[in-house]
Structure 1
Amino acid sequence: MNIAIIIAGGSGNRMGQDIPKQFINVYDKPVLIYTLEGFQRHPMVDAIEVVCLDGWHGVLWAYAHQFNISKLKWVVSGGNTGQESIRNGVYNLEDKVSDNDIIIIHDGIRPLVDASVLTDVIQKAKQYGNAVTSLPYNEQIFIVNPEDKETTKEYIPREILRRVSTPQAYRFGRLDSAYHEAFEKEIGIYGSAYTNTMMVELGETLHFAAGSDKNIKLTTKDDLELFKGYLKVDKDTWLK
């Protein structure tokens, strides 16, 4: 099976709204539901688990029924950090899936995940054991001069860089053991750590999968306006 873990345990303080950003309505539909619909529609996704902010579980189930998210099977509570939230979602599946099942981890506030991106990350995870959505980095990256922070004398060739986000996918057996090891040894679980960075710190080789520039993360009000723009825009039929 291919099971998605959607991470929606954050409070979204940077959005500056009265409700968590994953539950903000955009054109009469919560952001999180847009995200779930992408997984609901995808033929290779068999089941969905959402790691949800405490106090919002009932709201999520109600929305899932309203918008026909029939693949939603489990809702679990988030943790104090992003890594704790992902860990909670992984541990909840220990008696529900097999070691060879593919687990797709995705941010609930990335509502524009493309079907082709999901397909590629699942297929590569089946082939290699893991896959992380990635894109080339198209801007020049310069390193701040430590002697004068207003100047630079060094750059990083962009050809050696990749931007990595979610969705990411892993075989469950390795993913589960990695989270147990990471929290027991306190490796790769603090700050901005995520599953991919944790895996690298534990010595894992990760495999790149396809990405999309549309796959934006809704962190600020400007991101929300951009999302609304994507929903309204009509694709030009002549573009290849």
Structure 2
Amino acid sequence: MNVAIIIAGGIGSRMGQDVPKQFIDIFGKPVIIYTLETFEHHPLIDAIAVVCLDGWQEILRSYSEQYGISKLRWIVKGGSTGQESIRNGVYALEKKLSDDDTVIIHDGVRPMLDVEVLTDVIRVCDRYGNAVSSMPYNEQIFIIDDDNPQTTTRYIPRETLRRVSTPQAYRYAKLLHSYRKAFSLGIGISGSSYTNTMMVELGETLHFASGSDKNLKLTTPENLETFKAYLTIEGKGRQR
């Protein structure tokens, strides 16, 4: 079974809106529904869990019923950090999934997910036990000088870099064990840590899957405008 955990537990203060960014209305539909529709319509996804900002669970349930998100089976309370939210979602599936089931983790505010990217993440995970969507890094990266942060004498060859995002996929038994270990030992759970960085800190080898430049995380008002432009180009930008 392939189960998606959609992370929608944040507030999104940088967006400058009165509602959490995952619930912002875009052309008559909340952002989170655009995200959920990709998983709802994908033939390889069997069920969906959403880790939701506390106080918004019933609103999410109502939206899901309104827009026909029939694969939504679990709504889980979010945590105080991103890693706590993911952990809550992983723990909530205990005794509901088998060890070999695949769990796909995705940010609820990445609504422009290509079907092909999701398919490839599942394919790679089926073969290797995990998968992270990734893209080449096309900019130059220089290292700040220790003595003078306004200068540099070193760079990292961009050919050695990959930038990764969600979706990510993991075998459930390994994912559950890893989150228990990480939170027990305090490894890979602070700051901007995510499942992929946590896994590496725990000594796991990760496998790259396909990614897409279109798979933008909606963080700023400018990102929203990009999303609106994309919907308009795709013919989905009409007010409902």
Q: What TM-score, normalized by structure 2, do the two folds share?
A: 0.96
Q: Write the distance in 1 (CA, Å) between the matches of 2:87 and 2:158.
A: 33
Q: Write the distance in 2 (CA, Å) between the matches of 1:234 and 1:63.
A: 23
- What is the root-mean-square deviation of aligned Cα atoms in Å? 0.9
Aligned letter for 2:143? I
1:118-137 equivalence runs, <5 A: 118-137=118-137
1:183-194 equivalence runs, <5 A: 183-194=183-194
Q: Secondary structure at the match of 1:216?
A: coil
1:84-123 equivalence runs, <5 A: 84-123=84-123
CA pair 234-95 structure 1, distance change in 2 beyond 3 A: closer
Identity over aligned residues, as a percent?
Answer: 66
Q: Write the distance in 1 (CA, Å) between the matches of 2:197 and 2:234.
A: 36
Q: Secondary structure at the match of 1:122?
A: helix
Corresponding residue for residue 222 of structure 2: 222
Q: Secondary structure at the match of 2:166?
A: strand
Corresponding residue for residue 12 of structure 1: 12
Aligned letter for 2:222? D
Corresponding residue for residue 174 of structure 1: 174
Q: Write the distance in 1 (CA, Å) between the matches of 2:141 and 2:231.
A: 31
- Cα offset for 1:234? 4.7
Q: Secondary structure at the match of 1:149?
A: coil
- Cα offset for 1:153? 1.1
Aligned letter for 1:45? I
Q: Write the distance in 1 (CA, Å) between the matches of 2:153 and 2:232.
A: 43
Corresponding residue for residue 159 of structure 1: 159
Instruction: Report Cα offsets for 1:127-169 as digits up to 9, x if no partner.
Output: 0000000000011111112222222211100000000100000
Q: Write the distance in 1 (CA, Å) between the matches of 2:143 and 2:85.
A: 33
Q: Kindly tell me the number of residue pairs found equivalent between the two proteins.
A: 235
Corresponding residue for residue 238 of structure 2: none
Q: Write the distance in 1 (CA, Å) between the matches of 2:145 and 2:71.
A: 51
Which 10-residue stretch deviates more, 102-111 or 139-148?
139-148
Corresponding residue for residue 46 of structure 2: 46
Q: Write the distance in 2 (CA, Å) between the matches of 1:146 and 1:208.
A: 32
Instruction: Report Cα offsets for 1:110-133 as digits up to 9, x if no partner.
Output: 001100000000010010000000
Flag structure 2 segments of 5+ consecutive residues without an equivalent: 236-240
Q: What TM-score, normalized by structure 1, do the two folds share?
A: 0.96
Q: Secondary structure at the match of 2:83?
A: helix
Q: Write the distance in 1 (CA, Å) between the matches of 2:207 and 2:222.
A: 32
Q: Write the distance in 2 (CA, Å) between the matches of 1:24 and 1:162.
A: 31
